[in-house]
Amino acid sequence: MKYPKKLQPGATIGLICPSSPITPEKEAGCRAVVEAMGYRVKMADNLTVKYGGFMAGAEEVRADWVNCMFADPEVDAILCACGGDTSSRILEYLDLDLIRANPKIFVGYSDVTNLNLVLNQQCGLVTFHGPMANSNMRERFDDETKESFFHALNAEESYEFRNPNGFAIKTLRTGSAERVSGVLTGGNLALLSASIGTPYEWDTKDKILFIEEINENTSRVERMFYQLRNSGKLAQCAGIILGQFTNCGNQYDESYTEIDSLADATRGLDIPIIYNVQSGHGQPMMTLPLGAECTIDLTCREKPRMFFAKPQR
């Protein structure tokens, strides 16, 4: 898979809402924050549209804006304003041939996991699990989140992933190999679980799997994670990276966390598993290049490390 071209100063960024809408006030704020960083902006016209109360227009409209932004020669990068719900409704309307022919930066997470998986697997594009215009940039684009974002988009050489200051990457399981490599895939746990059995089901064979979640009780995190285990997805992985599990507590026993639950759920898997990687719905949020070659290094179990290979643009 190929990285898109780097994000140059003065580039044009297309803003889209492939899932849920934002308010007119937030729309103006998204434009302002992107322009303040020195970029031109093209706005989809459905950002504030409400269909059914929770969708930014009908599925054909939302998909058409994804297609249009990829087709537009003036647009250098596509940035989602927010996640939300129902990106699954737009997948069948994406013009995958058009997207393959016009590779460019694409950034989003949460419900945008659906699009990241399709663009990775069916279009051969590296996309970015990174901050979105409304969800992250408009009010709280902190320095560490910003640095990680631009570094991932514009990297020229192989690099080591860095957590924010004060957050240590930790080892959950070692496996029999101290170093494993594979293409990075994954995203939001609920979306990964829901894709199984559909034409958009994600492939984990020999890949590094990244998982994050928000606002789910530990019991629900476990249910979705066991869906991955029972479907064979976890056993096929080369390794697993557990990101932020934001507002995911155990209402029945606070001492038994989602990490404890996932440790139980991964018993018998002979693969390295690391956790506390600060990417997901929390703050700061580090950017991950989905579709890139990733290495987990457990040479020192107490200090696990992650690397990404030199981008092929």
Which residues are identified as catalytic?
Answer: 110, 212, 281
237 membership: H or E segment, kind and range: none
**Rounded distance, CA 287 to CA 306, Å?**
13
Buried b / exposed e along 76-113 (16+ C-beta atoms within 10 A): bbbbbbbbbebbbbbbeebbeeebeebbbbbbbbbbbb
**Rounded distance, CA 272 to CA 238, Å?**
8
Q: Is the peptide bond before 284 cis (omega within 30 degrees of 0)?
A: yes
Closest by Cα among 269, 279, 214, 190 to 242: 279
User: What is the number of other CB atoms lying within 10 angstroms of the CB of residue 243?
Assistant: 27
Q: Cα angle vertex 81, ends 93, 5, to 5°?
A: 75
